[in-house]
Amino acid sequence: MRYGGPVDVPPPDDHGFVPLAQVPAAALAAYDRQHLPAPREAFLTCWVKPARRCGFAYVIDGTLAGYGVVRECRAGWKIGPLFAAREAVADALFRRLAAEVPAGQPLYLDPPEPNRAAQSLVARYGLTPVFETARMYKGPAPALPLDRIFGITTFELG
């Protein structure tokens, strides 16, 4: 499901954020791999370039607990991916990324429907359904931790 709408939130007053450019590539790739059916190191190298997108990791006691990226799109801005170990981390990352969006611009997030915490997050910030899709697989669906996927990278890329 894609949710969207204008979001005006201040960034959280938190010290757990690290710009993605400062996260070792191997650590980011290992965390990312936990949320997908295949590795994507080469993709990540391009996706997290600060000149094109804004991304942050959330670190707790030296351990990567989540990360997210926000980018400008044709109409507004999209957050994706948004992966987090728990809802509070996802919420903090969402607010940090949303604070990068110019006032009045729409923001979009594509959470998997079974993730109830993600559904609560979009409702909390007033995002409303824009459209929905169905995910299809040839063969068995991969076992993914949907409770830690608060936003897919993009419908076009998964």
Q: Give the pLDDT confidence score for residue 157 in this predicted structure.
A: 64
Of 156, 11, 13, 5, nearest in space to 94 by CA: 11
Cβ contact 106:6 at 8 Å = yes
Report pLDDT for 138. Answer: 85
Dist. CA 84–CA 65, nearest whole Å: 6
* DSSP per-residue letters across 2-37: EEEEE---PPPS-S-EEEGGGS-HHHHHHHHHTTSS
28, 35 in Cβ contact below 8 A? no
Q: What is the pLDDT along the chain (158 residues), one digit of tens a residue?
A: 899 999 988 888 878 999 998 999 999 999 999 998 888 998 888 888 777 789 999 999 999 999 999 999 888 999 999 999 999 999 999 999 999 999 999 999 999 999 999 999 999 999 999 988 887 778 898 899 999 999 998 877 65
Could you give the angle at the alpha carbon of 132 between the alpha carbons of 81 and 100, nearest 5°? 35
Domain 2-131+145-151 has CATH 3.20.20.120: no
